[in-house]
Structure 1
Amino acid sequence: MSQHYTKKLSKIKWSRSENNVITALLYWIILGLFLYSYLESDNPLSLSVVSDRLVDALSISMIFLVNRISNKPTDEFHSYGFHRVEALLNITIITLFIAISAYSAILTTELLIHGIPISSGSTALSAIIAIPLLIVAGVTIEHDEKSNFRIMFIHTLQDLAIMIIVLAFSLLPFYFFSQYLDYLGSYIVLFIILYGNRNMFRRNVNILLEGSSVSVKEVEEMIRKEFPSVHHLHIWDICQHQRVATLHMSIPSQMQIGELDSVRKDIERILSKYGVNHVTVQFESNNGDNI
């Protein structure tokens, strides 16, 4: 590798890292805006946003640590590497998020029951400031398909939609003279946030349970169209971008190694259509003896 190329690569890596630091700072600034808004006005709408912003700020900050761990090379005790730490982080963050959201919903209900007067001005101002900050965050964040930051980029787009809803519900009371719109907006925002994260929660629980989003039955039927003797197929996800499969295949005992290699490549080709990028095939002779 030439010195010029090495310097260029280092510059690209630094640029990405610098952009992601900027994105993390923007998330914390947005959290600070709505936290101040809630403390200043007791507006439940601001509290709902705080629960989401806190989790996002923690998530994008911890991704730096997670990426550092998950990119460590394999060793004699971790042959698949440390990729599953990604799922562990996501489960921890989502559990925290659910707890904070539940607290937010309970507090919003208490405020509604007691009919405490609230002000929407600071919430509206925070949303107005947050919208361009989220746009900048979406531009600066890393867009690599295999990166954890890719997930945060998609989530940032969802946050923009939520922020527009927050702005709408914080401005409506000025025209309809009803503080109940803030409570309604708070419940709607909480529902959207919880509903929007359901798939990520399910996916990461599935990873920790050594499952996968693809149907093993469907994949096995597809392989058996070409290789009917395939059996004992297992597929599981190590992380969100590493899927593993193992299978057994009965073959005539007189087959040569070159023929087996061709069969293996065909099986890998089929499995790659389902996102499998690591395959182990155990060949077995028809008489029951393993090869």
Structure 2
Amino acid sequence: MRSVISFWLIFIILTIFSIYGKSALLASEAFHAFFDALVVTISIYAIKKLDNINSVYTYGMHRMEILFSLLNILIVIIGAIIGIIISILFIILRIEDNPFIVIIASSIATIFGLIASSEEEKDEIKKSVKLHAILDTLSYILGIIAGLAIFFTKYYILDPISSLGILGIIVLKNSSQIKSYIDVLMEKSPIDTYNIEKLLTPIFPTVHHIHVWSICPHIKVATLHITEDPNTTLLEMDKKRKYIEKLLSENFNINHVTVQFETKKTD
């Protein structure tokens, strides 16, 4: 809740100061802050639904972590693009800002950004929110530096140029995370199954059909088949299952393992 309030306060403060100070930097940061506040508000609501396990969502709704993290990134990129357009317009129209206003607004935003980034993160959504707050705080600090540079040099074009630089960094930083989230949605194996086979084969030579996927970054699921002698007792197989679960948990951090035992073909 603290992060939600902080993001909305940052948006309000930057919006007011961007109008009063005629700053492309503050205007682009205000747009960015609005989208941040919106997606953080939705994300915090989603966190409450993650552990809703029922007969339909048998693993809970942890995949929402990925969906909202992706939404978070995409919204930030859209906000950054809008900010870039604003900055270019300021350059074309030769609008001069008030550097003193830029310094004050960026300083206040930095304080609230630090408050938003100080919350503990226990899941992917909160990690994404915290990363957002940290990146935003860094951009506000750069805003302070830009304001000081304009104040002392009187080069007012530094305002929209600084805005373009900060927004470019934000886009590049967020774009790099998209692939990892898409990999989870596409059920790409987070672990090379050859390494699992290499670990298990010396102990269970008949292991095959190994599959691993992620529900979300902190929940990994594995299924595998093992061919057994038909005379093997259920108790013996259960001991082997528990040992396999222990091996995969300790070596690959796999949370949920399903082992399917099959009997050897007999004539």
Instruction: Return the TM-score normalized by structure 2.
Output: 0.86
Q: Within the alignment, does 1:286 sit opposite 2:264 as a pair? A: yes
Q: Which amino acid aligns with 1:58?
A: L
How far does residue 125 in structure 1 lie from its aligned partner after superposition?
A: 1.0
- Secondary structure of residue in 1 paired with 2:139: helix
What's 1:53 paired with? 33
Q: Within the alignment, does 1:40 sit opposite 2:20 as a pair? A: yes
Give me the whole-angstrom Cα distance separating, in 2, the residues matched to 1:40 and 1:225: 71
Q: Within the alignment, does 1:265 sit opposite 2:242 as a pair? A: yes
Instruction: Describe how 1:205-284 pairs up with structure 2 within 5 A.
Output: 205-272=182-249, 273-284=251-262
Give me the whole-angstrom Cα distance separating, in 1, the residues matched to 2:168 and 2:220: 32
Give me the whole-angstrom Cα distance separating, in 1, the residues matched to 2:180 and 2:98: 39
How far does residue 131 in structure 1 lie from its aligned partner after superposition?
A: 2.0
Give me the whole-angstrom Cα distance separating, in 2, the residues matched to 1:120 and 1:228: 71
Match among 22, 25, 28 for residue 8 of structure 2: 28
Instruction: Describe how 1:92-131 pairs up with structure 2 within 5 A.
Output: 92-131=71-110
Match among 43, 47, 63 for residue 43 of structure 2: 63
Decide whether the 8 Å contact of 1:34 with 1:123 is kept in 2: no
How far does residue 36 in structure 1 lie from its aligned partner after superposition?
A: 2.0
Decide whether the 8 Å contact of 1:229 with 1:249 is kept in 2: yes
- Secondary structure of residue in 1 paired with 2:195: helix
How far does residue 45 in structure 1 lie from its aligned partner after superposition?
A: 1.5
Give me the whole-angstrom Cα distance separating, in 2, the residues matched to 1:266 and 1:279: 11
How far does residue 277 in structure 1 lie from its aligned partner after superposition?
A: 0.7
Q: CA RMSD in A?
A: 2.6
Give me the whole-angstrom Cα distance separating, in 2, the residues matched to 1:281 and 1:174: 67
Give me the whole-angstrom Cα distance separating, in 2, the residues matched to 1:144 and 1:93: 16
How far does residue 168 in structure 1 lie from its aligned partner after superposition?
A: 0.7
Q: Evaluate the alpha carbon distance shift between residue 105 and residue 154 of structure 1 in structure 2; reply closer, same or farther with a 3 A threshold.
A: closer
How far does residue 111 in structure 1 lie from its aligned partner after superposition?
A: 2.5
How far does residue 170 in structure 1 lie from its aligned partner after superposition?
A: 1.9
Q: Which amino acid aligns with 1:74?
A: N
Q: Evaluate the alpha carbon distance shift between residue 40 and residue 173 of structure 1 in structure 2; reply closer, same or farther with a 3 A threshold.
A: same
How far does residue 247 in structure 1 lie from its aligned partner after superposition?
A: 1.4
Q: Which runs of 5+ in 1 are unaligned?
A: 1-20
- Secondary structure of residue in 2 paired with 1:231: strand
Give me the whole-angstrom Cα distance separating, in 2, the residues matched to 1:233 and 1:190: 43
- Secondary structure of residue in 2 paired with 1:197: helix
Question: After superposition, what is the alpha-carbon deviation per residue over 1:157-205, rounded to whole angstroms, capped at 9, x for unaligned?
Answer: 3333222112111221112221232233212211222233235433322
How far does residue 207 in structure 1 lie from its aligned partner after superposition?
A: 2.3
Instruction: Return the TM-score normalized by structure 1.
Output: 0.80
Q: Which 10-residue stretch deviates more, 24-33 or 270-279?
A: 270-279
Q: Evaluate the alpha carbon distance shift between residue 100 and residue 156 of structure 1 in structure 2; reply closer, same or farther with a 3 A threshold.
A: closer
